[in-house]
């Protein structure tokens, strides 16, 4: 993790056991990821969220009582996620509340409802990140929604007719169906007029993203790569680096050459060919994930550190359980961190 950033953000306080929880109390939480709806309008093979039947959503009245915590913790950005955040029945009210708190709002979305919700998005959101799973045919196949890619394109145009300067980015999960198509995915992103495209390896080994259990081997094999496919991915990544050097340099492709090659490494680690290595990450010290049920995680992958139903967000973030977790977490050696595919290495704008 970035120890310098973490050190700026936390202070040491005595725990109830009389021992000092070194570097564990958070005084500033720049990023809050908010799961606002548990259901989704896609049927992706690499995700279980859509299989939930109850479709719970964030209670805005209950969430509003955390306003003081948001201000006290100095939250700068709230990322709306799910499920599909746009399924929330009072999406406009949620954005209005967050804007009154003075935060920047990023929307993570499948993109299927962009056109339908274009006005609310243009007025309430500062940035959009859309999941893109390859060129059109493959994207629709992965999402298992006919015409999904076309709806994304129409939605982008609808939002930009209202707010031309809206930053809209793509994020692509590399997996079996798309591992040979990174260059085509970039070309497709340009065709959709996205401001950038980023890539990450598919997660097949954790209980993140509402999975009740770790996937069995048969399910993992639908997403993960064989040794032969990893070799093909490695060749595709090298071709991407060579042919799209200017896109990498300009950050149209968000990842550096090293990070693109790290995607290949993740799949080799999954196969047991090389030992897993933790990415640089300070997520538990600079961000938190609040679920629909009020539970709070230090990141998508680690377990809950408390619940906001009977406490404020600030109380949960700085509870003894949360402080003990941060004080004892060694990112380099933690097995969950070692297999993380979606890390955060936040650097303060002041740094």
pLDDT in tens, 267-310: 999 999 999 999 999 999 999 999 999 999 999 999 999 999 99
Residue 13 lies in a domain: no
Residue 18 lies in a domain: no
**Does the CA dihedral 190-195-198-204 come out positive or negative?**
negative
Number of domains composing the chain: 1
Residue pLDDT tens, the chain, 351 long = 333 334 345 443 333 333 344 458 999 999 999 999 876 555 556 555 555 566 688 999 999 999 999 999 999 999 999 889 999 999 999 999 999 999 999 999 999 999 999 999 999 999 999 999 999 999 998 888 889 999 999 999 999 999 999 999 999 999 999 999 999 999 999 999 999 999 999 987 644 455 454 544 555 667 889 999 999 999 999 999 999 999 999 999 999 999 999 999 999 999 999 999 999 999 999 999 999 999 999 999 999 999 999 999 999 999 999 999 999 999 999 999 998 988 888 887 654
First to last CA, the chain: 15
Q: How far is CA 82 from the centre of its chain?
A: 10
Residue 24 lies in a domain: no
Give residue 204's pLDDT.
78
Which H or E run contains 10? strand 10-14
Give residue 343's pLDDT.
83
Residue 3 lies in a domain: no
Backbone angles phi, psi at 36, to 5 degrees: -100, -15
Average pLDDT, the chain: 87
Give residue 51's pLDDT.
55
Residue 346 lies in a domain: no
Cα(266)–Cα(285) distance, integer angstroms: 24
Cα(80)–Cα(306) distance, integer angstroms: 20
3-state SS string over 103-145?
Answer: CEEEEEECCCCCCCCHHHHHHHCCEEEEECCCCHHHHHHHHCC
What's the predicted TM-score (pTM) here? 0.88
Give residue 91's pLDDT.
96
Share in percent of the chain as helix, strand, coil (round to 5): 40, 15, 45
Residue 262 lies in a domain: yes
Q: State both tokens at 142.
A: 């992965």
CATH of the domain at 173: 3.20.20.70
Which domain does 94 fall in, by range?
31-339
Give residue 39's pLDDT.
67
């Amino acid at each position: 993790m970035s120890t310098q950033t973490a050190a700026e953000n936390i202070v040491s306080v005595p725990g109830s056991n009389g021992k000092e929880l070194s570097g564990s109390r958070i005084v500033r939480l720049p990023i809050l990821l908010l799961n606002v709806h548990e259901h989704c309008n896609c049927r992706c093979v690499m995700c279980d969220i859509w299989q939930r039947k109850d479709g719970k959503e964030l209670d805005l009245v209950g969430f509003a009582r955390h306003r003081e915590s948001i201000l006290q913790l100095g939250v700068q950005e709230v990322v709306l996620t799910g499920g599909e955040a746009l399924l929330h029945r009072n999406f406009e009210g949620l954005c209005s509340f967050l804007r009154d708190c003075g935060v920047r709002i990023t929307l993570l979305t499948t993109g299927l409802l962009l056109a339908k919700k274009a006005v609310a998005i243009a007025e309430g959101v500062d940035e959009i990140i859309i999941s893109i799973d390859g060129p059109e045919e493959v994207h629709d196949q992965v999402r298992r929604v006919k015409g999904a890619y076309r709806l994304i394109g129409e939605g982008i145009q609808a939002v930009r007719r209202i707010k031309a300067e809206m930053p809209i980015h793509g994020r692509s999960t590399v997996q079996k169906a798309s591992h040979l198509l990174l260059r085509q995915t970039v070309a497709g992103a340009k065709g959709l007029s996205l401001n950038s495209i980023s890539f990450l390896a598919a997660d097949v080994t954790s209980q993140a993203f509402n999975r009740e259990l770790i996937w069995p081997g048969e399910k993992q094999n639908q997403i993960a790569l064989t040794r032969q496919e990893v070799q093909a991915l490695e060749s595709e990544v090298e071709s991407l680096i060579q042919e799209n050097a200017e896109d990498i340099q300009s950050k149209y492709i968000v990842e550096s050459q090293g990070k693109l090659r790290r995607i290949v490494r993740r799949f080799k680690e999954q196969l047991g060919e090389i030992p897993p290595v933790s990415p640089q990450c300070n997520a538990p010290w600079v961000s938190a994930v609040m679920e629909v049920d009020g539970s709070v995680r230090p990141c998508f992958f680690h377990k809950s550190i408390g619940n906001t139903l009977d406490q404020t967000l600030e109380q949960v973030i700085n509870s003894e359980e949360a402080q003990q977790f941060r004080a004892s977490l060694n990112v380099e050696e933690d097995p969950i961190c070692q297999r993380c595919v979606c890390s955060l290495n936040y650097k303060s704008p002041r740094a």
